[in-house]
Amino acid sequence: MIALPLTEDAVTDYGPGWKRNEAKKLLDFHARALNAKGGFYKLAADGSPLADDPRGQGNTRELHETTRMIHSYAQGAQLNHPAAHQIVDHGMKFLFDGHLDPVNGGFWWSVDDAGPIDTKKQAYGHAFVLLAAASAGSVGHPDAARLRETVMTVLRSRFWENDPGAVSDTFDEDWTNPPAYRGGNANMHLTEALIAAHRTWSDPADLDMARAIARFMIDQHARAEGWVVPEHFTPDWKVDRDFEGDPMFRPPGTTPGHAIEWARLVLELRETGGMDPQDDWMVEAASALFSRAMRDAWLPEGGFAYTLDWNGNIDNRRRLWWPVAEAVATSHALHRATGDDVWLGNIDELWTHLDAHHIDHEHGGWYAEIDASGRPVETLFPGKPDIYHAMTALSAGLE
């Protein structure tokens, strides 16, 4: 573990009371996203709905946004937020009525008031459907088990590949045109969802799948790369170092924020699995993943570089909210797993950075990106697109 250079003076007590209050404000802000026609609006910086109707048929709703709202407001229900159950129910209804393909099965990536826009079937999106089902189930939603069965049928029959024990990526609407690409991001989020599913329904098969993914992605590949997480793979599951990617979900090179996220997930997998001896490698892996990402990617001005090249050099200095939020949650996970207070040594610096640059104290919500001067900018994401990573950070340490 390394000590982060202070970029601001830490003067606030970022304890449980502060986090609960910030979570309430965040949930209040994003509750405005509820769309009476189904699903949720994207929100502008001031909390108003963003204009987004490319076909003139109402706002586009993307699968990961619908599902993350369900997950986040299930967390909100645990914090007794008054709108939580209504929003969970609203999102669940739209998954079945808006995103679910009744002919071919699986869930469309994006839809508007007239129906599907992007009909691709993505493993990434389906992982979040499972997370939504598990989270809704944890707060007693009556359709959670049905959603779980619907999405798990597709995950096992369409996406899962026994060798190596991971999911492929994207198919056409009718499950033709098998994907040439294999990616780490979908597998990371499926691991998260499988852990949540096991916590809700206690099916050991969920842990078996999660362990298979973690062993392949982290114990095999990240370990071999000196605890750098490969993101992109060829069809035969060889690391693709030359993948050019796209800036949002598949950036080229390596993404240190994902190493931080993986560190948290393998610890949660170990904990959920009852500290099984077969998972003993996970504490070593989490410690090494987190430490290397902090060392390689934390910038002198604060925040993490978005991507690195394969030599560990900074490739893209874009500063986003989510790696810092994940670093908060992973710090708590490492402390819980090891009992060593050293892992909490940077908590105040991480929160101070988020508080100073990403939390909007005037309008509410979190800014997604800041420029070199620390001011909010919108280059990759419009408005305030996320509650999911912010709630992950704010929920950490409240266990």
Catalytic residues: 258, 389
Burial of 149 (C-beta count, 10 Å sphere; 0-12/13-18/19+): exposed
Q: Do 7 and 301 contact (CB within 8 A), yes or no?
A: yes
Three-state DSSP state, 371: coil
Residue pair 31/40 in contact (Cβ under 8 Å)? The answer is: no
DSSP-assigned beta bridge partners for residue 370: 319, 376
CA distance 205 to 194: 9
Beta strands in the chain (DSSP E): 61-62, 110-112, 115-118, 121-122, 160-161, 166-167, 170-171, 182-183, 232-233, 307-308, 314-316, 319-320, 369-370
Cβ-contact 132, 95 below 8 angstroms: yes
Listed in sequence order, the residues at least 6 apart from 362 whose beta carbon sits closer than 8 Å to its beta carbon are none
Rounded to whole angstroms, the Cα distance separating 330 from 95 reads 30
Q: Regarding beta strands 319-320 and 166-167, do their DSSP bridges make them parallel or antiparallel, or are they unpaired?
A: unpaired
- Find out whether 254 and 308 touch, Cβ atoms under 8 Å: yes
Say how far apart CA 376 and CA 380 lie, in whole Å.
12
- Say how far apart CA 97 and CA 277 lie, in whole Å: 43
Q: Reduced to 3 states, what is the DSSP secondary structure of residue 62?
A: strand
Rounded Cα gap, residues 38 and 61, in angstroms: 9
Distance, in Å, from the CA atom of 372 to the CA atom of 123, rounded to the nearest integer, reads 34
Question: What amino acid is encoded at 295 in this protein?
Answer: R
Q: Are 365 and 354 in contact (CB under 8 A)?
A: no
